[in-house]
Amino acid sequence: MPKSRSKRVSRQTPPKPKPKQSPRWVGALFFGLMGLGVAVIIVYYLRGADPSYGLWVGLGLISAAFIVATQWH
C-alpha cells in the first residue's frame, strides 16, 4: 500500500564528516618510540647492566608509543 504524502520524510540526514587524517609524523613517532623502547631493553640485557633501569626506560618509551597511537587516525 502506498504511503500518504504527509508521512513521507522530506529531509535527508546530512552525511557524516570524514575523520581528519593524521600527519605523517604521528605514525613515524609511534614506530620510532616502539622500536627505541624495545632496543633499549635488549641492549641493557645484553650488556649485563642493571636490568631494572633499562627495563623501566624501555617500558616508558613503549608506553609513550601507545599514548601516541591513540592520536593516530
Read off the pLDDT of residues 10-55 as tens digits, 9 standing for 90 and up: 678 888 888 888 888 999 999 999 999 999 999 988 888 766 788 9
Would you say residue 4 lies in a domain? Answer: no
Would you say residue 49 lies in a domain? Answer: yes
Three-state DSSP state, 22 = coil
Side-chain half-sphere of 16: how many Cα atoms within 13 Å? 3
72 vs 6, higher pLDDT: 72
The boundaries of the domain holding residue 52 are 22-73
pLDDT at 51: 66
Q: Rounded distance, CA 44 to CA 58, Å? A: 9
pLDDT at 13: 83
- State the pTM of this model: 0.69
Residue linked to cell 500500500: 1
Total number of domains constituting the chain = 1
Would you say residue 13 lies in a domain? Answer: no
Give the torsion through C-alpha atoms of 30, 41, 52, 47, to 10 deg. -150
Q: Which of 23-27, 39-43, 61-65, 69-73 has maximum average pLDDT?
A: 61-65
Q: Rounded distance, CA 11 to CA 33, Å? A: 48
Would you say residue 11 lies in a domain? Answer: no
